[in-house]
Amino acid sequence: MPRSLDHLRSYFDALRGRERSSITIDRTYGGLRCFFRYLAQERLIPQNPFSLVERPKKGKSLIRPLSMDQARLLLAQPKIKTFVGFRNWVMMLTMLDTGLRLSEILGLRRDQIDWPASRCFVQGKGDKERAVPFGTAVKKALWEYGQWRGEVAGQDIFFLDQFGGKICCRHVQIALKRHGDAAGIVGVRVSPHTLRHYAEFGIAGIPSRPSTSATGGTPSASRRSWDTRPWKWSGTM
């Protein structure tokens, strides 16, 4: 047993020496622990050595938010003349402005949007409902998307795919990564969580829409700038 413990601890030390991430090391630990537990249960080994091996501590890293310029570049990527592109643009703009989680924005229903009060009600962690205000620019974008979305029989979810069904979380994650790569964003992971942190930090200034032609099916471009508060917008409509 002592030799087995030394081998296992040396192995995890070697992983740290190779600068493997704490997540990789933790998953490796979990997989090996299950494997050795199985061997012990089947009596292929006399004892599970992992009962004496400490679980590696996970390192905590700060999530870097997008800068103002990176947010501008990201919002310029979707092809807003198409339904999917315009929908993605509206979702990205809403997450940047409000800090909604991906699950919250994908689960948003039409009856949860309070248009006169410029807010929406979402089910957050712990199945708790909370009111989230949004700015004038986001209100206009949500309204324009709602007009394009139209009525879909038996479907109350606000953001839909091109076939009128619910959007998969993985689809949004892949789309964001693709837009981030196209924008040439480096040093920041482009993900729904990153967009949420942009709103939390209240970084100032993003454009509302890239330029489009008058015949493209979407309104002409306008620019707004963010106030220091996450959901307050200023500028002309």
The domain locations on the chain are 2-52, 68-235
- Max Cα–Cα distance, the chain, nearest Å: 76
The pTM of this model reads: 0.65
Name the nearest CA neighbour of 215 among 49, 81, 31: 81
What does pLDDT average to in each consecutive run of 10 residues of the chain (237 residues)?
A: 72 82 85 88 84 75 79 92 94 92 93 94 83 92 94 92 92 94 91 84 47 35 31 31
Contact (CB, 8 A) for 231 and 129 = no
- Give 56's contacts (C-beta < 8 A, 6+ positions apart): 12, 16, 22, 25, 26, 29
Give the CATH number of domain 68-235.
1.10.443.10
DSSP H or E stretch at residue 114: strand 113-114
Buried b (16+ CB within 10 A) or exposed e, 25-50: beeebeebbeebeeebeeeeeeebbb
Which tokens go with 99?
């800090």
Query: Which alpha helices (H) appear in 66-185, and where do they start and end?
Result: 68-75, 83-98, 102-106, 136-149, 169-183
CA distances in angstroms from 43 to 39, 46, 47, 51, 83, listed in the order given: 6, 6, 8, 15, 59
Q: What is the pLDDT of residue 29?
A: 87
Determine the pLDDT at residue 1: 54
The pLDDT value given to residue 189: 87
Estimate to the nearest angstrom the gap between the alpha carbon of 18 and the chain centroid: 29
